[in-house]
Amino acid sequence: MSYALTVVIPVYNEEDNLARVEAEMSAFFKVAKRPTRALFVNDGSKDSSQQMIEDICARNEAFSYINFAENRGLSAAIKAGFDHTETPLVGYIDSDLQTAPEDFNLLFDHIDDNELVTGVRANRKDKFVKRMSSKIANGIRRAFTKDGMDDTGCPLKIIKTDYAKRIPMFKGLHRFLPAMILLQEGRIKQIPVQHFPRIAGTAKYGVWNRLIGPLMDCFAYLWMKKKYINYRIASKG
């Protein structure tokens, strides 16, 4: 089959969620508006995640995996997924499935006219502290980047792969994916999507990662924006 979209699924100690990931992604493949496959990126899990991933991939042609030698963090996992994607489009969803794979169909409707389409979590089901720290962090980031995005932390995105591969990712920059597309003069759009409570496993990121860390990353982004090289080839021979 010729696939149009590869959905990158970072995994770190998510053994309690992976059976549901297999079931929900497999159900989505049947109704996806464009042929879709999934790519697990195991970020050095210490539980049985890797064995479960291998079992899933062995019985499902549309699943494949990358297994890190050690834990490198979410940004590294996303970058590895982008680097190893061969389809025209690359997507991203978290393995806790607090967003719904079926909502990729909402993003498909807008990706032809944009280089990145991201979800905005409507009626978030997170705890108050997490919601407020994310809201503050998003406000700070939006002030720095001027990207106009309300929820860059939403783990549901589709990006045109040639743009995704040009993102110079470093630790923490996964929060700035829309801004990095703007640096390439790409078009971005946000669409409301469903949000659900985490059913199993534990969140891997605390207040530091959602608030203080992103503030520090804003300065890294400003440095990168000043130094960023962008060009388009008119012709070659």
Given a contact cutoff of 8 angstroms between Cβ atoms, the answer to whether 110 and 94 are in contact is no
207 pLDDT band (50/70/90 cuts)?
Answer: very low
Percent share of the chain, pLDDT over 90: 59
Model confidence over 143-156: pLDDT tens digits? 666 676 767 778 89
Give the pLDDT confidence score for residue 121 in this predicted structure: 83
Distance CA 161, CA 34 (A): 15
Given a contact cutoff of 8 angstroms between Cβ atoms, the answer to whether 116 and 178 are in contact is yes
Give the pLDDT confidence score for residue 113 in this predicted structure: 98
Domains of the chain: 5-227 (3.90.550.10)
Predicted TM-score (pTM) of this structure = 0.83
Model confidence over 173-195: pLDDT tens digits? 778 899 889 989 999 999 999 98
Phi and psi at residue 42, in whole multiples of 5°?
-85, 110
221 pLDDT band (50/70/90 cuts)?
Answer: confident
Give the pLDDT confidence score for residue 232 in this predicted structure: 76
CA distances, 162 to each of 51, 84, 87, 150, 211 (Å): 31, 12, 10, 24, 30
Burial of residue 142, with CB atoms counted within 10 A of its CB: 0-12 exposed, 13-18 middle, 19 or more buried: middle
Model confidence over 17-75: pLDDT tens digits? 999 999 999 999 999 999 999 999 999 999 999 999 999 999 999 999 999 999 999 99
